[in-house]
Amino acid sequence: MSRTLRPAVFLDRDGVLNRSLVREGKPFSPRRLDEFRLVPGAAASVRALKEAGYVVVVVTNQPDIGNGHVTAELMAVIHARLAGRVPVDDIMCCPHRREDGCDCRKPKPGMLLAAAERHGIDLERSILVGDRSGDIAAGVAAGCYTILINRRYREPANAQPHASVRSLASAVRHILARQGQGPHR
């Protein structure tokens, strides 16, 4: 019995669904529960994607776990808060440090590939929304259409997105406007 593959929207967490902490032009993840704040309209944006038929999966690098700055237990509480406020289908988290060389850490596509297997996702009909070059590179490597939420961080842009917008709400409007156009149009 084969199942029909569904399109998904993969959302990075920090800088997409919640506010990143920006210091000297570089984004950082919240390290305390009281620093975790959703961007305006995050829940409504995700609801619109789900109503349009997308599986919505959060894919987030959280090296602060591997670096010992945040516990896995605190990250679980943060993700439970996120899932309680925003109707995502899954939250996938890479806890590894950059030097660990894992397959799940973006810019590698491991989390997207695992989500595709777990949820029956058609990667060619899927979209990745991120705020950093590594997010975009992971989406491209997985065969997804990519949208950069341009936060104007001071870091190199090593991957070119298919589209660039200024907010999650704008990304969702772009996704819904292009729905049905086929992959990568």
pLDDT digits (tens, 9 = 90+) for 42-63: 999 999 999 999 999 999 999 9
The answer to whether position 18 is within a domain reads yes
How confident is the prediction for the chain on average, in pLDDT? Answer: 94
- pLDDT for residue 1: 43
List residues bridging with 94 in a β-sheet. 61
The answer to whether position 159 is within a domain reads yes
Tell me the percentage of the chain whose pLDDT exceeds 90: 86
* DSSP H or E stretch at residue 75: helix 72-85
pLDDT digits (tens, 9 = 90+) for 150-174: 998 988 878 899 999 999 999 999 9
The answer to whether position 185 is within a domain reads no
The answer to whether position 15 is within a domain reads yes
Q: Would you please indicate which residues are annotated as catalytic (active-site) residues?
A: 12, 14
pLDDT average, residue stretch 60-75: 95
Comparison of pLDDT for 183 and 37, the residue scoring more: 37
Domain that holds residue 38: 8-178
Count of the separate structural domains present in the chain: 1
Q: What is the CATH number of the domain that holds 122?
A: 3.40.50.1000
The answer to whether position 87 is within a domain reads yes
Query: Is the Cβ–Cβ distance between 122 and 142 less than 8 Å?
Result: no
Q: Look up residue 60 and give its two tokens.
A: 């987030």
Query: Is the Cβ–Cβ distance between 73 and 25 less than 8 Å?
Result: no
The answer to whether position 110 is within a domain reads yes
- Rounded-to-integer distance, Cα 10 and Cα 146, Å: 9
The answer to whether position 2 is within a domain reads no
pLDDT average, residue stretch 112-138: 97
The answer to whether position 3 is within a domain reads no
Least confident of 74-88, 105-119, 137-151, 168-182: 168-182
